[in-house]
Amino acid sequence: MCNQITDIVAIDGPVGAGKSSVGRQVAERLGFAYLDTGAMYRAATWWAIENGTDLDNPEALTAITQNMPLHLSDSNGELRVRVGAQDITEVIRTPEITRQIYKLDHAAGVREHLVRLQREFGARQPTVADGRDMGSVVFPKARWKIYLDASLEERARRRAAQFAEKGLQVDLAELTREIEERDRKDMTRAVSPLQKAPDARVLDTTQLTFDQSVDAIVDFVREVL
């Protein structure tokens, strides 16, 4: 358990709420490091598939994740994800990875390993960290906690737009159902379920622009500072 109050902006929330894009901009505005924990689970999912690992075997998933040579770096304000020498920043954002990632999310051994790496990262410098259990589990003593949310329909629209930017066309109705199911799995999983930390500030971005969402979090941090 992380018991010391740390200069962490912990951003939690469901899929498609804008955690990664907003968190990255907040980090840049504050001069903090940025930690996209979702990218870590996506990388682990890609690594497991690449190695032919049985995605329904938690022990095998834990073992392969512990051997993953993961490296996260910042390149001109963009998070780059590498496994070994291979840059997988784009490939881990495909619908296939999105459909399978929950199996890594639910593997206790995988989470234990990645949580340790996340805490090591946050201990080195002031950090904006986004995910689903940042304020409740990974950084329970984070100085700032935000639960970022938006309506299901808006989150599906945003995710579809992200896929479209990459040249990937998806059925919006099917995507909405997938996100709704992902919400259910995230909120009911036995290990580190998605939940709002009791001391987190809720920010509903359904009617907010991207810049307004960023401004709201930056203002919250500066209130405390």
Tens of pLDDT, residue by residue over 20-58, are 899 999 999 999 999 999 999 999 999 999 999 999 999
The pLDDT score that the predictor gives to residue 23 is 95
Q: 150 versus 163: which is more confidently predicted?
A: 150
Cβ atoms of 188 and 105 within 8 Å: the answer is no
The pLDDT score that the predictor gives to residue 54 is 97
Task: Report the percent of the chain where pLDDT is more than 90.
Answer: 77
Model's pTM, two decimal places?
Answer: 0.87
The pLDDT score that the predictor gives to residue 2 is 53
Three-state SS string across the chain, please?
CCCCCEEEEEEECCCCCCHHHHHHHHHHHHCCEEEEHHHHHHHHHHHHHHCCCCCCCHHHHHHHHHCCCEEEEEECCEEEEEECCEECCCHHHCHHHHHHHHHHHCCHHHHHHHHHHHHHHHHHCCEEEEECCHHHHHCCCEEEEEEEECCHHHHHHHHHHHHHHCCCCCCHHHHHHHHHHHHHHHHHCCCCCCCCCCCCEEEECCCCCHHHHHHHHHHHHHHHC
Model pLDDT for residues 117-135, shown as the tens digit of each residue: 999 999 989 999 999 999 9
Cβ atoms of 194 and 132 within 8 Å: the answer is yes
Q: How confident is the model at residue 166 (pLDDT cuts 50, 70, 90)?
A: confident
Residue 178 predicted with pLDDT over 90: yes
The pLDDT score that the predictor gives to residue 79 is 80
Reported for 152-161, long-range contacts at CB under 8 A and 24+ positions apart, including other chains, are 152/176, 152/179, 152/180, 152/183, 154/16, 154/205, 154/206, 155/14, 155/15, 155/16, 155/17, 155/179, 156/16, 158/16, 158/18, 159/15, 159/16
Report the pLDDT averaged over residues 202-219.
Answer: 97
Average model confidence (pLDDT) across the chain: 92
Residue 90 CA to residue 76 CA, distance in Å, equals: 16
Q: 45 versus 75: which is more confidently predicted?
A: 45
Report the pLDDT averaged over residues 137-142.
Answer: 95
Give me the sheet containing 86-87, strands edge to edge: 70-75, 78-83, 86-87
Q: 72 versus 220: which is more confidently predicted?
A: 220
The pLDDT score that the predictor gives to residue 75 is 67
Task: Report the percent of the chain where pLDDT is more than 70.
Answer: 96
Cβ atoms of 171 and 159 within 8 Å: the answer is no
Instruction: Give bridge partners of residue 117 from the DSSP assignment.
Output: none
The pLDDT score that the predictor gives to residue 136 is 93
